[in-house]
Structure formats: structure tokens, C-alpha cells
Amino acid sequence: MVSIKQLSKMNFTGKYKFKSEENYEQFMKVLGVPDDAIERGKKIKFDTEIVQNGNDFTWSQIYPCHTTTNTFIVGKESEFEILNGDKVKTTAKLEGGKLLMDFSKYVHAAKIEGDTLVETSVCDEITLKTLHTKTV
């Protein structure tokens, strides 16, 4: 279990504006997302808002037409809505300054580098990398 002291060194709380994305199309194909949905998704950019209170997180991805919010506690199993829209249960972990989640179809990691939220998702050797710049 991750202690509050360990998490206090990491402060994810903030609002983050979409900056860039790498390998979106390839990654979504590996997940089995239909081509028409991938084409629509390539045009949609999302912002992220995170509220962290110790081990408790509320992580929202804000799209033009809807918001997806995952609420979880590091070290406890929680339900997440993942990139392809499925809902799965997993336990968020903290390792080496990163939040890690194993969603069975892919592994997701998030970290803060300066004022940038860096998220990587890996599936079958394809890495989706998304960067967001902190605005507040």
C-alpha cells in the first residue's frame, strides 16, 4: 500500500490542456476499435482535470461532447472506464513516481514532468503517448 507521505511528493491536482498525442490510430487498432470510430477520435482532443486528496483521485477527461470521470483510491480495486469505452476493475499503484494501472488489454502509466501530464498506454508493443500542459 502506498503511504500518504509517498503520494504527497506527487501532486497531480490540476487542469491540463491537450498538447499532443503519438500513435493514436495504431494503438486503437490494436485494441480492436472500429476504423470509423478511430477516424472520429483522431479529430477529438480532450482536456484532463485531476483532483488528488492523498490516496484518493478523481480523474476526468473532458471531451467536447461528454466527460469521462474515474474515481479511485491508490492500492484499492476500483472500476475504470477505459479508452475503448469498456468498464474494468483494477488497482492503481504507485511505482517510481508513476501511477500505474493494468487494464488487462493494456497498461497505463501517468506521471508529472514539470507542468506536463505525461500518459502512456502500451498494448502489444504499441505505445500511445498523450501530453497535457497544466493550466491551473
pTM of the model: 0.88
Higher-confidence residue of 58 and 5: namely 58
Domains, the chain, in order of start with CATH, read 4-134 (2.40.128.20)
Model pLDDT for residues 21-36, shown as the tens digit of each residue: 999 999 999 999 999 9
The whole-number pLDDT of residue 4 equals 46
Encode 3-36: b = buried (16+ Cβ within 10 Å), e = exposed. Answer: eeeebeebebebbbbbeebeeebebbebbebeee
The predicted model gives 49-55 an average pLDDT of 95
Q: Which residue has the higher pLDDT, 127 or 97?
A: 127
